[in-house]
Structure 1
């Protein structure tokens, strides 16, 4: 592959440190506005951005959507892109940094446990449903990549979400347990031993051990990665859409605590997925090597009859994050889906 070296979007050039194309640079009357907020969740400070629609009037009532970011991501990247695009359609949206990651609080940094990531989504619902102008009866959920798997988990039991959509859904438990494309089945017990030892070391006050991290990948290292999603993801997070809180940087992203594997490896996004009875839209690239995860979850989601799997023609997993024609195609499905499923029951 050709590895780009130039930044596509420099966070330093945006006052809100947003890195996606077309990002807000200033709040202007009559347009989508962005509002950085912080709120408490289980004693931790959660950092989030709320996007309000054009001509927002807090005295009115608007539907709202929670947007959950990918593993390795922060709110300023693809989650912010879709939060802004959905706000353009008349929704109040929120993109938040996961606890222990990004600009949110929590130690050890980069703890990545499914119960925390799922609780992040419940907490965002708590906050946004009390935001001025939000109609709590019209709340939707969009999860991207790893956030998609955790959105499925949240929607199983959180019926405040009237509908749920995923983009390039990544089943973190399955991949951490089995390897990408089920390529590491033979090392399951060995990796659990390592995770258990890492937790014991943490409990004794020793060094926190991490999977990944360190220096940014070289061109040769990226080219040698066996899966396209990881190659393109490394470029996205470290180069073209890099942010100081994500990727190879210290607060989030391409690294997580080894001890987190104790929780990740016993979890699966599809466990009890039949509890989802809300409308479900699952989007994934037709060329994505992670597509198998979306197809598996979709087949198992038997609790809802209102469901659709839509493939973005020609898109890879990471391409769904930022390639303009793919994003437009995704919005072309998300817009009517949320318009239909987040309807007011008021006369």
Structure 2
């Protein structure tokens, strides 16, 4: 097993301009060939917004067949061309029709202002993927599964609490966005919750002022959309980040797997919704098989452990740890991706 202190943190750079579909993940499809897994860029409307997605069909796909299908929700700040696409493609290799969509307000999907990251929208994005894929030629609607990665994992758990079209749900490196935005990473910012809520409230008031709605305050200068989470760090600054998730995340999203639709930033006003949200609230409503996958060395592992303990509505549940992996390494390191896909393949073969 590799030693955490000596292994290479990131691999080669993948340029979206080198792939006709803009894909930046390892072993991505470069052309649709007969008899192989194919990719199909599609769009559909959700809450009046045009959503951009990729559907992957299995080798020798027959539109008159009856295939199980899986929705794949991307990480916070991510897009369908990154890790979500990699997992969607790999699952299609196992005989599933899969869909990876850009969240509303993000990536190539519509929505203004850009980079709104509100839990209701992200959760409804999962419902929307189910809506679309259920009508796709060849899909057996009685065999629908859900997969979410990082923040998409938390939102997928929330969606499956109520959406009984899903027969099974799995996550990889689940990230409980609400808990982290509220409490900080590993609950390290509990003392500043009220201060940050005030900042988010002020940001919303400033947005309102920009729409021409009168605001009685002397602090608002009018109309700018304020963002959080965005930073243009040097390589040295990235290397100095003390948390694996953020250090390796910057390298993944800004260096080796960068995509123009992908960004860490989100509207500051989104925190009004994020900080009062928790992906594990009412987790007992999930009554279908549940698989949580996390790296044994991931600084986000505690979120999957917490979810497992709260998922009391199903007895068919498991936390599978990938030995030696950190959070971001489950996105791109072949050894860890293969381990996750091996577990996912067996899980979905049994449950959908």
- 2:341 maps to 331
- Whether 2:127 is the aligned partner of 1:122: answer yes
After TM superposition, give the deviation of residue 3 of structure 1 in Å: 9.1
Deviation, structure 1 residue 313: 0.6
Matched, 1:308 2:318: yes
Whole-angstrom CA distance in 2 between matches of 1:3 and 1:262: 38
Match of 1:50, SS state, is: strand
Q: Please tell me whether residue 229 in structure 1 is matched to residue 234 in structure 2.
A: no
SS at match of 1:204: helix
For the residues of structure 1 that align with 2:108 and 2:161, how far apart are their CA atoms? 28
Rounded Cα–Cα distance in structure 2 between residues aligned with 1:254 and 1:311: 26
> How far does the alpha carbon of each residue in 1:120-151 deviate from its partner, in whole angstroms, 9 at most, with x for none?
00000000000000001100000000000000
Show the counterpart of 2:74.
Answer: 69
Would you say 1:199 and 2:210 are equivalent positions? Answer: no
Aligned to 2:142: 137
2:261 is matched with 245
Using the alignment, how far apart are the partners of 1:310 and 1:67 within structure 2? 19
Inter-partner Cα distance in structure 1 for 2:300 and 2:142: 33
2:36 counterpart SS class: coil
Q: Cα–Cα, structure 1 residues 282 and 5, in superposed 2: closer, same or farther, change >3 Å?
A: closer
Match of 1:250 in 2: none
Hey, which bits of structure 1, 4+ residues long, moved more than 3 A?
1-7
Displacement of 1:213 = 2.0
Structure 1: distance between partners of 2:208 and 2:284: 37
Q: Give the aligned partner of residue 20 of structure 1.
A: 25
State the match for 1:260 in structure 2. 270
Cα deviation for residue 226 of structure 1 reads 2.5
What does the per-residue CA deviation read over 1:240-259, in whole Å, with 9 as the maximum and x for residues that have no partner? Answer: 1111111xxxxxx3000100
Contact 1:208 1:257 in 2 (8 A): yes
Instruction: Tell me the residue number matched to 2:302.
Output: 292
Which of residues 69, 85, 92 is equivalent to 1:87?
Answer: 92
Residue pair 1:7, 1:242 contacting (<8 A) in 2 also: no
Where structure 2 has 5 or more consecutive residues not aligned to the other structure, the ranges are 211-222
5+ residue gaps, structure 1, are 247-252, 343-347
RMSD: 1.3
Aligned length: 335
Matched with 2:218 is: none
Conserved? CA contact 1:285–1:317, under 8 Å:
yes
Match of 2:293 among 279, 283, 294: 283
| Matching residue of 1:317 | 327
Shift of 1:10: 1.1
User: 1:35 matched to which residue of 2?
Assistant: 40
- Equivalent residue in structure 2 for 1:220, among 227, 230, 236: 236
Q: 1:272-316 CA deviation, whole Å, 9 max, x = no partner? A: 000000100000000001100110111110100000110001000
Deviation at 1:223, TM superposition (A): 2.3
Residue 66 of structure 1: how far off its partner (Å): 0.1
Residue equivalent to 1:269: 279
